[in-house]
Amino acid sequence: MIRREFIKKLIKGFFALTATVGTIIIAWFSYPSGIRQKKYTFFDLMDEEALPVRGVKRLDYLFKVDQLGSKLSRDLAGVVYIVNNTRKIYALSPVCTHLGCFVTFNRHKNEFTCPCHGGRYDTEGVVLGGPPPEPLTRLPLKVENGKVFVGFKI
């Protein structure tokens, strides 16, 4: 009888350990290692005076390889939205959290919309509707010596 209980506990322990280890392995591999290990690199995007007094400003950026030093072997181009909601200034990534399309800002509705599946976000990046599972990503922003720097994972 004691032996039977011991074997039952041993089997339960084995399955519990297997489930835990399996979950950790799945979580590890489902989050790309490239993103996992990358840190933010700050780039000078604009002068402080060019910050929006209020509302949303789209910034198209292009960094040439020679500006980036040895970090990249290609130019880095993209879009970022700078938002001033009168309480704070922050940067939002335009990448939709559903399947990665680029959102655009609709001034009339005062919201970001995704052209792919109708995802909608408010100016804080919070999901208003559609399939996106998470808010837009906030990128770190800092102002130093009259310059606005935004952090990107490259």
Q: Letter for the amino acid at 94?
A: P
Q: How far apart are CA 93 and CA 35, in angstroms?
A: 15
**Residue 82 is a binding residue for ligand FES (CB under 6 A):** no
- Nearest C-alpha neighbor of 132 from the set 97, 95, 93: 97
Instruction: Determine, following the binding rule CB under 6 A, whether residue 136 of this chain makes contact with ligand FES.
Output: no
**Which is closer to ligand FES, CB of 119 or CB of 125?**
119
3-state per-residue secondary structure call for 18-55: HHHHHHHHHHHHHCCHHHHHCCEEEEEEEEHHHCCCCE
Q: Which of 24, 26, 65, 99 binds ligand FES (CB under 6 A)?
A: 99
Only one of the segments 26-34, 40-48, 115-123, 139-147 lies at the binding site for ligand FES (rule: CB under 6 A); that segment is 115-123
121 DSSP β-pair partners: 112, 127
Q: Is 125 in the site for ligand FES (CB under 6 A)?
A: no
- Least distance in Å: CB of 106 to ligand FES? 14
Residues of the shown chain interacting with ligand FES in the complex, contacts defined by CB under 6 A:
96, 98-99, 101, 114, 116-117, 119, 130-132
